[in-house]
Amino acid sequence: VLLALGRPAEAVPALRRSLEAEPSDSRARTGLADALARQGQIDEAARLYRALLEDNPSDQHARAALRAISQTVAGR
């Protein structure tokens, strides 16, 4: 909810707590990766997206987000 409201800085700690309770929660992992990416924490976001793809190679959101990160990094 916080991420959808445009408040990624507040979403990150909440999502981390959620993942501590349930590490395999792919929605929380995706949300955390999205929040981190929005905050410019690209390395950690990319690591999470890669892990999501390892668990589910058909995850189109993670694939697209990782592609966008790669393009951003290449353009620096």
Total domains in the fold of the chain: 1
Structure tokens at 3: 């991420």
For residue 68, being part of any structural domain is answered with yes
For residue 3, being part of any structural domain is answered with no
Q: What is the pTM of this model?
A: 0.89
Residue ranges making up the domain that contains 43: 8-74
Residue 76 has pLDDT above 70, yes or no: no
Predicted confidence at residue 6, as pLDDT, reads 86
- Return the CATH number at 54: 1.25.40.10
Residue 1 has pLDDT above 80, yes or no: no
For residue 2, being part of any structural domain is answered with no
Asked whether the beta carbons of 25 and 19 are under 8 A apart, the reply is: yes
For residue 65, being part of any structural domain is answered with yes
Q: What would the pLDDT profile of 3-42 be if each residue is shown by its tens digit?
A: 878 888 999 999 999 999 999 999 999 999 999 999 999 9
For residue 49, being part of any structural domain is answered with yes
Q: What would the pLDDT profile of 46-65 be if each residue is shown by its tens digit?
A: 999 999 999 999 999 999 99
For residue 46, being part of any structural domain is answered with yes
